[in-house]
Chain A
């Protein structure tokens, strides 16, 4: 059975897309963010409080998740009239098999280290 891995509206086919997703999932803080957003969207300020990290760090992690298209952001006007940004988790399906990694490995070229004096 051929699996269709997808993130949001992106069907994962390209090597670069998979690497972005793997990179996004490689940090415990980003897994934590995904877990929180799986319960529902969150404003940045609330997300920082729930994850218990500084704002610059949070934005750094959110940027990685956005690059992988695992999360999306949008602005909305609060009742007080202030514009606030919230993040939401995209729907995704990711099955990692040896066939998938074998296919991705075809894109990888590891160059031999140069000899001394060259």
Chain B
């Protein structure tokens, strides 16, 4: 009886591994981390960095700013004169058919964000691919904290 059980398990083990591998492969399909590139330009040190949606801090900030402007939470504050450029964020939709150099093409741009700082407060100007409207507003306290955490915690 024990020998019979051992033999059965020997056959089942590779199958179990194969099934596990297939499940891992399938669960990886449709991974949204590949659907966008986030490019951040820091005006303080003139550096540019790229992230994808696996970077939770940047992905979360882009989501929060999108909701802020498109969910109707924001006002329509103008950017104050004298406000300094803080960060520029551009979000591109990745294109599986395009080369790496073509990913950041104008046609793939989903969103353009300019964050300004004035008197310890953050203001934002945003534009979306699907709308000609440009949005400007003073960021909420929660969103400002999220922006500040990029400096303290790093993306």
Contact = CB atoms under 8 A, between A and B. Distances in A.
Contact of A63 (B30, B63, B91, B130): B130
A60 B73 contact: no
Tell me which of B59, B70, B111 has the highest count of chain A C-beta atoms within 10 A of its own C-beta: B70
Contact of A56 (B30, B73, B91): B91
Interface string B63-99: 1001100111100000000000000000101000000
Interface residues of A, number: 17
A112 interface: no
Interface of B: 30-32, 35-36, 53, 59, 62-63, 66-67, 70-73, 91, 93, 110-111, 128-131
29 contacts: A44-B70, A45-B67, A48-B63, A52-B31, A52-B32, A53-B32, A53-B35, A54-B35, A54-B53, A54-B91, A54-B110, A55-B63, A55-B67, A56-B36, A56-B66, A56-B91, A56-B128, A57-B36, A57-B93, A59-B128, A59-B130, A60-B110, A60-B128, A63-B131, A75-B72, A83-B71, A84-B71, A85-B70, A85-B72
